[in-house]
Structure 1
């Protein structure tokens, strides 16, 4: 299979479907519309040979100068294990290294074993210097 990984805006329908089908959890249309509009960088993976054009994605969100976060990294289950998560991260790191100020704090939340992928790109556990936290209503 020949996959295409590129900087590209993520259509709302693809975003909602990829999140749900890859196991990241569903988002409402309203949340997706607002969130996508505020993306700093978006990467889409397409499979021209399949009936589903968009099979993976990743985004960078934040203020674009002081603080940014890598988020929404996902690949549909039937395409996992083919290096696509790595390809998405390579594109996002290209943007980080070429477009964001060197002092920008880049963070992410790693689910499960995904931390092993992110460590390959220089991401490290924040403990004991700081502790990641979240609020969910």
Structure 2
């Protein structure tokens, strides 16, 4: 390893906070996720159980996020995992997920149900998640 590799600082920080509504919407769009209404975002974000953002410190730009929603006791749903494409492949998704998992490990009571909708094959499995089928199947609907 060269001296420059050893002295190079990590330009990213994971912070325990939620993005502002505009950043939330922009990150979802940049990551190719389904849009949410601004009214829904503004109402929903404050009701998060826990959240983190990935910040590119040289620019102070929020470039990634993840949050937990649920009741804070029996059900935890990992949601809104997104990293801006310009900052992917830097390990940010893993770092975000590690923070979410640490929160659950530290705060969730025994037998809490933790779920998520996986949109990346092979990513969540390394954190111990497995498909629920055939025991159950994930379902959804959207409001008009």
Fold match (TM-score > 0.5): yes
> What corresponds to 1:120 in structure 2?
126
3-state SS of paired residue (1:123)? coil
TM-score by length of 2: 0.88
Q: Which has more radius of gyration?
A: 2
> What corresponds to 2:40 in structure 1?
31
3-state SS of paired residue (2:54)? strand
3-state SS of paired residue (2:105)? helix
1:42-65 CA-partner distances (Å, limit 9, x unpaired): 110000223x61000000001111
1:64 counterpart = 2:79: no
Q: How far apart, CA to CA, are the structure 1 residues paired with 2:99 and 2:115?
A: 16
1:74-108 CA-partner distances (Å, limit 9, x unpaired): 00001111111100000000001001112110000
Contact 1:55 1:79 in 2 (8 A): yes
Change (3 A) 1:115 1:102: farther
Contact 1:6 1:91 in 2 (8 A): no
> What corresponds to 1:46 in structure 2?
55
Aligned residues: 134
3-state SS of paired residue (2:123)? helix
TM-score by length of 1: 0.92
Q: What RMSD, in angstroms, separates the aligned Cα atoms of the two structures?
A: 1.2
Deviation beyond 4 Å, 4+ runs, structure 1: none
> Which runs of 5 or more residues in structure 1 are unaligned?
none
